[in-house]
Amino acid sequence: MGQLILLAGKGGTGKTTISALLIRLLKEKKSGSILAIDADPNSNLAETLGLQVKETIGSILNDIQAHPEHIPTGMPKERFIEYQVQTAIQEEDGFDLLTMGRPEGPGCYCYVNNVLRNIMSKLVNDYDYVIIDNEAGLEHLSRKITRSAEALVVVAQATAVSLKAAERIRCIAKELDLKTKKNFLIINRADKDIGQEKIKSLGLDYAGFVPEDEEVVKMSFEGSSLLKLNNKATSLDALRKIGDKIWN
């Protein structure tokens, strides 16, 4: 079974940026196959990686709901959904990408929870690393699409409000009975190490901090791919040490 790494964080913390940079570092390590899953309804991971989303699970479900006649005669609906999701996986240089998206039709996901759960189980087995960029509310995980993971990584900033949000995310994971071997907190855009003492009550281990990186800010503003970020960038240097804690 591959390593499933879940990232979550309140909006504005730079969670998707951290997700993209961790994908880049795994890609550089060449230690196995990688699947990146964008499970945030805002669906910004592809843009951060310099890619265009071709199809999402949400759009697949919308099409099936609107046009059930598209399901081939004799093929079970569940099998057709699974096939369509597999075709929605984009094969890129060094990793694959799957974007969950959000269906427009009410109750779409309720019907396909079991299908998605089965697909996720297969995907985790098909890849050495699966990184899921979640929203703060862990919406997709709340449907128990994933029951266990190697690590939960919460991204926050060095403010009381952001740390409180990180604590809430950890509580949500507990309420969902999400089984994780490791639970980390990354402090993003920090100018110094805040240390383990300040977060000991959050139920998260302090993985480290990532300093504000002007090059990342500039590339994000321009819409450039973070896969092209200078290899010696301060953010990458910090994340190399953090990454070793997450997947080793």
pLDDT at 201 (0 to 100) = 82
Of 192 and 167, the one with more pLDDT: 167
The number of folded domains in the chain is 1
> Can you give the residue range of the structural domain that contains 122?
3-247
pLDDT at 22 (0 to 100) = 97
What would the mean pLDDT of 134-149 be, rounded to a whole number?
71
Q: Is the pLDDT of residue 137 over 80?
A: no
| pTM of model > 0.85 | yes
What would the mean pLDDT of 32-51 be, rounded to a whole number?
91
The helix (H) or strand (E) run that includes residue 64 is helix 57-66
Residue 239 · residue 222 · CB < 8 Å: no
Residue 116 · residue 80 · CB < 8 Å: no
Mean pLDDT value across the chain: 87
Q: Cβ atoms within 10 A of the Cβ of 231, count?
A: 9
Q: What is the pLDDT of residues 94-125, one digit of tens each?
A: 999 999 887 665 555 555 566 667 777 788 88
Q: Measured between alpha carbons, how far is 28 from 167 in angstroms, rounded to an integer?
A: 32
pLDDT at 85 (0 to 100) = 87
CATH number for the domain that contains residue 31: 3.40.50.300
Q: Cβ atoms within 10 A of the Cβ of 175, count?
A: 10
